[in-house]
Amino acid sequence: MKQAARKIVTPRPKMSLAIPDGMAPVEFFNSPANLKNLATENGLFRTPENLLMYRKLIGHSTEFDTSVILDTSRRILDPLGRPVRRDQMNRRQKKVWSQMTQILCDYMLETYPDPVAHLVLCGEASLDSTWPLNKPGVPSIRMIHNHFMVFPMQDLQAAEAANPADPNLTDSGHNTLFLRHLNEVYREFLDVLDLQILSMLDAEDCALELTGYPQGLPAWELKGGAAMLKDQYFWYEYEQILLGFLDFYRTFFSLVATGEEKVPANANFASQIGNVLLGSNRFVRVARDLREQVIQDPAFANEIRWRPAYKQILYRDEKGRLIVTISQNSVGNAITELLGIVVNRVEDPDAFAKVEPALVGRLLEARERLMAANLGEPISAPNWPAGEFVAS
């Protein structure tokens, strides 16, 4: 079978809320009205820290698809003031976030034990809080969110090949910045992390056999497999990868923005920034070339995201290995596209109705584990008023 990115079609129901006339979809999706509806109509579970698990009504997969967000919409009405990265959480929130992630990953791996039959993915995403609300491609919820999904491999194998130039697969060309121009210095910089549980892989060794993605990004195998998800040190190392990424991103785009070679304030790895990044002629040259392009090309300048935005994922490959990688998030592309999966979500209520009972049943099973861990309280939505699926 030819290795290629895949484009799959996923049915979705009709939206339960109408977008007001004259309002852009991304503006509406970030409104308090929509976020309230998300919890009341599709909410599954909420913790005292306001971590909300909900059913993805416009989702990626009909096999298993849920998200957890830090729902600050009732406390912070300004969308630009909401936490969009894990480093903006407090200590208690991050601890419960990791517990929920571990429990939901365990559920997926135990329910779908065969790596050849199912792709299992946990993907945490942020968006730059300085993005315009009406910018096309901005994710629909301006809060940090974690995706949990499963794809049957036979569906991916049967899907048509995606256009390799699809802007969602290429971050509108921005991923070439890291992959083609800065790959070596990026990997060298992240070596400072000195990880013990996560072991860095060669770029060509971490890609899915089916799609060939992710392409060239730093990636780490979780030695010891799923059992290590219960080890708190794993979550410490997972956090270190994010902190290293943030240092790299801030240093590079600060250099693009100002032209000054300086270590960002509050850097996590200041010495490594000075020695590896600012000491690299290539790193400095690429930043200055990009700076000149921003000055000359207004369309290109509009695509630049000056604050850190990332996608950090944990996925199981066909060999059964658990792999972690992290990428910049330039245009708001879906978390699946980092693995070469383009999802076309089509409104088809009849097709969705056929798969909805089983999908919701699995989400409720996973919720039972969060309840057993005493992390919060279940939510009774219209389609599961008493913990069982009820058709609309």
Phi, psi of 44 (to 5 degrees): -115, -40
User: What pLDDT sits at residue 148?
Assistant: 97
Mean pLDDT, consecutive 10-residue segments, the chain of 392 residues? 90 84 75 79 95 92 95 80 86 94 97 98 77 55 87 96 80 59 86 90 87 86 94 93 93 94 94 95 93 90 78 95 85 76 93 96 98 97 94 84
- What is the distance in angstroms between the CA of the first residue and the CA of the last residue of the chain? 41
**Strands 118-125 and 310-316, bridge-based pairing:** antiparallel
Phi, psi of 334 (to 5 degrees): -65, 155
10 Å Cβ neighbour count for 74?
11
Q: Is residue 149 part of a domain?
A: yes
Q: How far apart (Å, rounded) are the C-alpha atoms in residues 340 and 256?
A: 29
Q: Is residue 42 part of a domain?
A: yes
The DSSP call for residue 163 is: P
User: What pLDDT sits at residue 333?
Assistant: 60
Q: Is residue 264 part of a domain?
A: no
360: part of which helix (H) or strand (E)?
helix 349-372
User: What pLDDT sits at residue 170?
Assistant: 64
> Which of 14, 16, 37, 34 lies closest to 25, judged by CA?
34
Residue 216, by phi and psi: left (phi above 0), alpha (psi -120 to 50) or beta?
left
Q: Is residue 72 part of a domain?
A: yes
Domain that includes residue 136, residue range: 6-164+195-232+308-378
10 Å Cβ neighbour count for 294?
16
Sheet holding 6-12, edge to edge: 160-161, 6-12, 341-347
Give 89's contacts (C-beta < 8 A, 6+ positions apart). 70, 83, 97, 144
Give the CA distances from residue 109 to residues 77, 176, 227, in Å, rounded to whole numbers and listed in that order.
Answer: 37, 32, 11
User: What pLDDT sits at residue 287?
Assistant: 93
Q: Is residue 342 part of a domain?
A: yes
CA 70, 17, 35: angle at the middle one, nearest 5?
Answer: 15
Angle, helices 183-190/232-258, rounded to nearest 10 degrees? 140
User: What pLDDT sits at residue 131?
Assistant: 59
User: What pLDDT sits at residue 323?
Assistant: 96
The DSSP call for residue 268 is: S
User: What pLDDT sits at residue 83?
Assistant: 84
Q: Is residue 11 part of a domain?
A: yes
Q: Is residue 383 part of a domain?
A: no
CA 303, 309, 312: angle at the middle one, nearest 5?
Answer: 130
145: part of which helix (H) or strand (E)?
strand 145-152
CA 334, 126, 237: angle at the middle one, nearest 5?
Answer: 110
User: What pLDDT sits at residue 138?
Assistant: 53
Q: How far apart (Å, rounded) are the C-alpha atoms in residues 91 and 114?
A: 35
Q: How many CA atoms lie within 13 A of 329 on its CB side?
A: 31
Query: CA Rg, the chain, in Å?
Result: 20
Say what the pTM is. Answer: 0.91
Q: Is residue 254 part of a domain?
A: no
Please tell me the total count of domains within the chain: 1
